[in-house]
Amino acid sequence: MASGWRGECREHANELLFSSDIAWQAAGVARAENVRMSVRHLAGMLALLLLAAGAAPVTAEPNDGTVSGQVVNKTAGGGSTAGATVTLVSFGRKEQAPLGQRTAQTDADGRYSFTDLDRDPNIVYLTLARFQNVNYPTDQPFQLQDQAAAQADVAVYETTSADDAIQLENLNLLVVGASQGTLQCMEMGALLNKGDRTFVTANPQDQALARAIKFALPKGAMSVQMQTGFSDQDVIGAIGGVQVTSPVLPGRHQFAMSFDLPYNGSSVDVSMQIPYPAAAYSVYLPDTGVKLEGSPLAPAGATQLGGQSYQLYSASNVAKSTIVAGQLSGLGANGSFGPGQLAIISLGVVLFVLGGGVLLFGNRLRPGLRGNGESATDLEQERLELVVRLAALDERFSAGEVSQAQYDAERARGKQRLRELTLARKQATPVIV
């Protein structure tokens, strides 16, 4: 499959993932703050769906396809799934968009079926079951061109608003760079729901009483944007950080978010209260003389991430609600690591600290210069995302997925856009969000 098609599919998967209105329209359910599809599962579904190999031939295909399955409650002692609504969504690979949907109700045993389905190889199907106001997708999307019938069971869970089963497998703070007295940072890791119930936010409409999933941030953090793992639409404020109102299914959920941290002088406080038990907490600092002081995190030496050297500080088995103190020093009066260093970020950095997971970034990157009304923060966000995309291009080229000509052309376009963004950012006025 050509890498151009693959890149277009990834971009479209991003659009479906991080534009809630589009994703919910595709799922065919009303968009509500406390009723969201698991982004982690949908990410895998749509990525696989839109990365399917090959172009579909244009031929008339029979409409004798069938899909059947059972909605199974995986919670111990869970109730019946009779009467659950199941939605079958069809996606066009050529169109890179949803084509239609059908719904059915499960019977007394939680079974459902759809008949008279188009077996066109261009069409990929995905089923979703709605149970206790949460939507659950099948494990994988599927097609019908090679078989007339498909089995698609859906696992669902009872819900809970208690966060006793929520843990952090790992939490990582990565300092990307600094410019004009502001640190650009990323926080990423893996959130675990170790129970057999889906966590749901108790009061999603009430920020003070939401009791949603918490993510700690240093005091003064601004311009917070969820990049992967959860929808940015579900992020609300919280004391000591932010909250995410998305349902959290049992299992492992990778996440990454970016934020800015302003400071004066040559130091800044990066203390955080870790909201859940964390098996590991690490801080990565560019190896430019910046140091972490007054922290219980132990220095672990230098490490190479994505071709750049970082100083690593880490701790293991951090208890829930532990305040991990820390002060970054050696930033310099102008807070500059050098513009060249910001452009050396590699996707390998993010993949390493997330343990090799795949990241899909948001749909904020678009060709051409943005309007004059865009803030410096917006431009910087797009610039950082483009840097990561260029790093991903390097990874694909190294893996032999991209030809030399394609690599040179795409990299040249990306470099040109970086120059445009750098110039535009200098002309924009920073806006604090």
Distance CA 371, CA 365 (A): 13
User: What's residue 239's pLDDT?
Assistant: 87
User: What's residue 291's pLDDT?
Assistant: 93
Which among 140, 134, 130 has a CA at the least distance from the CA of 42?
140
Asked which of 235-249, 323-337, 384-398 is least confident by mean pLDDT, the reply is: 384-398
Distance CA 343, CA 289 (A): 18
Q: Is the pLDDT of residue 12 over 60?
A: no
Domain map of the chain by residue range? 3-156, 166-346, 376-427
Mean pLDDT over each residue of the chain, to the nearest integer:
76
Q: Which residue type sits at 246?
A: S
Evaluate whether 3-156 and 166-346 have a shared fold: yes
Find out whether 274 and 321 touch, Cβ atoms under 8 Å. yes
Tokens of 183: 């640190």
Helix or strand (DSSP H, E) at 238: strand 235-238
**Interval 121-150: pLDDT, tens:** 999 999 999 999 999 998 888 999 999 999
Q: Is the pLDDT of residue 279 over 90?
A: yes
Say what the pTM is.
0.68
Q: Which residue type sits at 266?
A: S
Q: The domain 166-346: what is its CATH number?
A: 2.60.40
45 Ramachandran zone, left/alpha/beta (phi>0; psi -120 to 50) = alpha
Which among 211, 171, 218, 161 has a CA at the least distance from the CA of 192?
171
Q: Is the pLDDT of residue 39 over 60?
A: no
Q: Is the pLDDT of residue 400 over 60?
A: yes
First to last CA, the chain: 42
DSSP output for 356-383 = S------S---SSPPPTT--HHHHHHHH
Beta strands in 287-407 (DSSP E): 291-293, 298-305, 308-318, 323-324, 327-329
Q: Is the pLDDT of residue 213 over 90?
A: yes
Distance CA 81, CA 302 (A): 53
Q: How far is CA 163 from the centre of its chain?
A: 21
Highest mean pLDDT among 105-119, 201-215, 300-314: 105-119
Distance CA 419, CA 426 (A): 11
Q: Which residues contact 149 (CB under 8 A, 6 or more apart)?
A: 65, 66, 67, 68
Highest mean pLDDT among 7-16, 215-224, 388-397: 215-224
| Dihedral sign (CA 200, 206, 211, 214) | positive
Q: Is the pLDDT of residue 199 over 80?
A: yes
User: What's residue 5's pLDDT?
Assistant: 28
Q: What is the percent of the chain where pLDDT is above 70?
A: 66
Distance CA 304, CA 318 (A): 25
Asked which of 58-62, 176-180, 237-241 is least confident by mean pLDDT, the reply is: 58-62
The full 3-state SS of 175-197, as one line of letters, equals EEEEECCEEEEEEEEEEEECCCE
The more confident residue out of 72 and 27 is 72
User: What's residue 287's pLDDT?
Assistant: 87
Asked which of 4-18, 139-153, 176-190, 309-323 is least confident by mean pLDDT, the reply is: 4-18
CATH superfamily label, 3-156: Carboxypeptidase-like, regulatory domain (2.60.40.1120)
